[in-house]
Structure 1
């Protein structure tokens, strides 16, 4: 098995790589030339480091990047700076997911699993999820004012509407953490099929460590993968109670 991790130098991506290292899984990571990696990752024999920007790779380079990979994990995200939020590329996540998906569908001769890190700010309407009036207003504003939010929604919608159960060689899971927090070690967490609390008015917390652990479980355990195949699970720290509202 070989896993490709995009966004591997980011806060969550780094933890995903370490989870795969712990499980001794061959891992290929794509990082920018300016990215900083820990010595632990740089010297790990099971980690192959490729340098470049995903949005600057041509079709042949995309094909080479995903070659021999059975699983692709995207932890891509925009830097939370003015340039990162409002500058180019506006659709970093969507463009990467679409190009990789099309390359897999058209050229890969094996089944590939794709794991996308999303957010509870994404509403999966096709699974019956609904937003309150207040949530609709705020999500509309976010879509208009924050390009990264629009990018994440567009990427998730692409997988849900374009890559369905009829896909012969591409499967996916969209992992939706609630408010991300930094936490060194994984702890007890719950995975739900839909949000059980408002991501706007009653947001929970999800540690990056728990997100990375769940992603690694999806990679290594067929039972976990089959349970969440073509679904958009939500990850919360500890146990949460359903809201009465």
Structure 2
């Protein structure tokens, strides 16, 4: 390992951190919103829509992320010319969102099912609509249950951004690859890259513990 080259490699990868974090944050927020929508549809057994959502979840959970990105970036624009100008960054956001939401939906669904049916029945008995019961009673309680697994999904999303280089987005992995191609010091580049990913994940784990502690207030005995 070339320690003399480490600072320059570190700086090059650091320049790409904002791109990695932007990909992560945007796709995770969109995926969470989509996952909640699909989970609520499944929870309420909405006719037709629950079947469509089931096929979507099965497809994106059953296929790898890279082919999904290739389909979105190379495949679909080849038959829909108007989509040829879509940016690689936007493609990665869409791909990561659709992929992550398929996994997060099961997390949200499990959290919803963990809330006793009596909670919903009591809300309806007090005059709330089904929608009010969902957003005021069920979802807040389900959120506390879902937090640990959702943070695992967030970690997976961070790792998933490393696939963005396959369609030309210069995030952390792409930056390390480009730097290594110049210096031919692949070992140092990828060791530094992995350590930086590790640091980000450790920070997220610390945030998770803090959030869990705050959400546990009022539930502790």
With the shorter chain as reference, the TM-score category is under 0.3
Q: Which has the higher helix share?
A: 2
TM-score (norm 1): 0.23
Q: Which has the higher strand share?
A: 1
Structure (1 or 2) with the larger CA radius of gyration: 2
Higher relative contact order (CA 8 A, sep 6+): 2
TM-score (norm 2): 0.25
